[in-house]
Structure 1
């Protein structure tokens, strides 16, 4: 995929409508340096804008998935704690919102985002994986809301998303103590979909799941993601009303007929790609 500059924190491969994003700073435990927070949202939104990407898979390299926020980010923030208090606070608020936007992008893109986790997912990494559609991990994985233990409150999505994913009592315990949360406990509480013996087995399995998603109508899958995200934050009546309005415009027959015909002919269906976002990408679509 063409980019305006080389990525420092990520590697990207694209095959069969699936984009595989890998964190590639294993020697630094894939900590989230300033470039991370810019590259991730730019990358996933560019993939979304293409129109031909149907699933994003995120994995990592090295011993741990990610050690979370790099110390350089805290150092940069600390240097801004000067000047008139109100203006300093307003600037801090904008900085936090910008960090939050990096992970918001995982929810906002049209396609599902699957995360394959191994080793430690610490601090900001919990914020990150909480924003994904589905999570998978290895036996050695552990999760830690580390921020509490370093004197701050997690502020990039963990405390807002986890209460929708696991029981209230558990999220409070994890946040208040900062203790490690094992793969088996995460599986038992429904935070992760599956636990695998090793990373290679996990990646193979997650890619097969991604292939199953990519084989379906991208319009139908995008609609599922939109509706599930919406109903999380709204009442059932409001969500049903939104569903009816969505269907009034989005429910068309070509994909339905193709699915039925393919089933009858015992072949895989072939669906038209979603339209690229020309407002973001212009008239040319980047090639993977």
Structure 2
């Protein structure tokens, strides 16, 4: 099943949805349509219940060159009007972009990013909101906002230190220098480096199908708890997982896991229920 969008294509195979940025000639820059389509796609796939993993990849030489120049030149960043009202509306605009970037964290499913070539500016924000990141050997990462006279404002500064450590994050942000794929793997920004784009896609899809074989309720619980623990202390996080388990820890998946082990077969877990209001097959 393949769905076409302005900036993305979506192909669903089994329990895995492969979402590809599809504007290679334009270096997959983040246009106005991008900011609307990406969260809508993630929400729709997460809501279905039968998709368990999303793989985000791209096409062409570069993963993404970041924010499209049209966003900067459209006048949206410097509208005319009474300064107080204009400035507060800009807050809403930034929050809208932040919400778009944060959509993978809100998904019930795992979101994996497969990165080739340049991952620049807003693309770094995008991939740091994903659960796992992988790269081809030609990939590089740049917090490019520093190089064009602005402070990154849609997620990199908030998520990157927790992924690579404070010192490495500060160096990336304050210098605006590119980080190679090998260095990114060394510091934990990516989990593995593949020889080329084809090997990257094949390898990440293989990992995605492995995750899709796990209980989707467990994957959802793992995500919720890891993100909560990142943003809260140990005591609060232990209370959160205790509350989660009070509802989610039921015998069905445990029983199936033990039966599958005894019978030496892969376990078969039920899909999540569709979210309220989800469109079948959307």
What's the TM-score once normalised by structure 2's chain length? Answer: 0.97
Quick check: 1:2–1:286 contact (8 Å CA) kept in 2?
no
Match of 2:146 among 145, 148, 165: 148
1:207 maps to which of 205, 208, 211: 205
1:8 match: secondary structure: coil
User: Is 1:285 paired with 2:274?
Assistant: no
The equivalent residue for 1:232 is 230
Runs of 4+ in 1 over 4 A off after TM superposition: 77-80
Q: Which residue of 2 aligns with 1:58?
A: 56
Q: Matched residues in 2 for 1:76 and 1:47: separation?
A: 31
Residue 258 (structure 1) aligned to one of 242, 256, 259: 256
- SS of alignment partner, residue 137 of structure 1: strand
Q: Secondary structure at the match of 2:164?
A: coil
Aligned match of 1:24: 22
Paired residues of 2:146 and 2:176 also in contact (CA < 8 A): yes
How far 1:81 moved relative to its partner?
A: 2.6
Choose which of 215, 219, 222 in structure 2 pairs with 1:221.
219
Q: Is the 8 A contact 2:77 2:90 kept in 1?
A: no
Secondary structure of the residue that 1:36 maps to in structure 2?
helix
CA distance in 1, matches of 2:169, 2:268: 42
* C-alpha distance in structure 1 between counterparts of 2:143 and 2:219, whole Å: 31
Specify the SS of the correspondent of 2:190.
Answer: coil
What do the CA deviations read for 1:197-222 (whole angstroms, capped 9, x no partner)?
A: 11111111111111110001101111
1:5-63 CA-partner distances (Å, limit 9, x unpaired): x5100000001110000000000000011000000000110001101110000000000
Cα deviation code 1:158-200 (max 9, x no counterpart): 0010011112122112111111111111111011000111111
TM-score with structure 1 length normalisation?
A: 0.95
Q: Distance in 1 between matches of 2:32 and 2:261?
A: 48
In 2: Cα distance, 1:169 partner to 1:248 partner: 39
Q: CA deviation at 1:112?
A: 0.7
Deviation at 1:77, TM superposition (A): 4.5
Secondary structure of 2:74's aligned partner: helix
Counting matched residue pairs gives 282
Q: What's the offset of the Cα at 1:76?
A: 2.7
Aligned-pair distance for 1:103? 1.1
Q: Who is 1:90 aligned against?
A: 88
Equivalent residues of 2:2, 2:10 under 8 A apart: no
Structure 2: gaps spanning 5 or more residues: none
- State whether residues 111 and 130 of structure 2, in contact with CA within 8 Å, keep that contact through their aligned partners in structure 1: yes
On the 8 A contact 2:134/2:191 being kept in 1, the answer is yes
Superposed displacement of residue 278, structure 1: 2.4
Select 1:164's aligned residue among 154, 162, 165.
162
The SS at the match of 1:12 is strand
Secondary structure in 2 aligned to 1:91? helix
List runs of 5+ in structure 1 lacking aligned partners. Answer: none
Q: In 1, distance between residues paired with 2:2 and 2:83?
A: 43
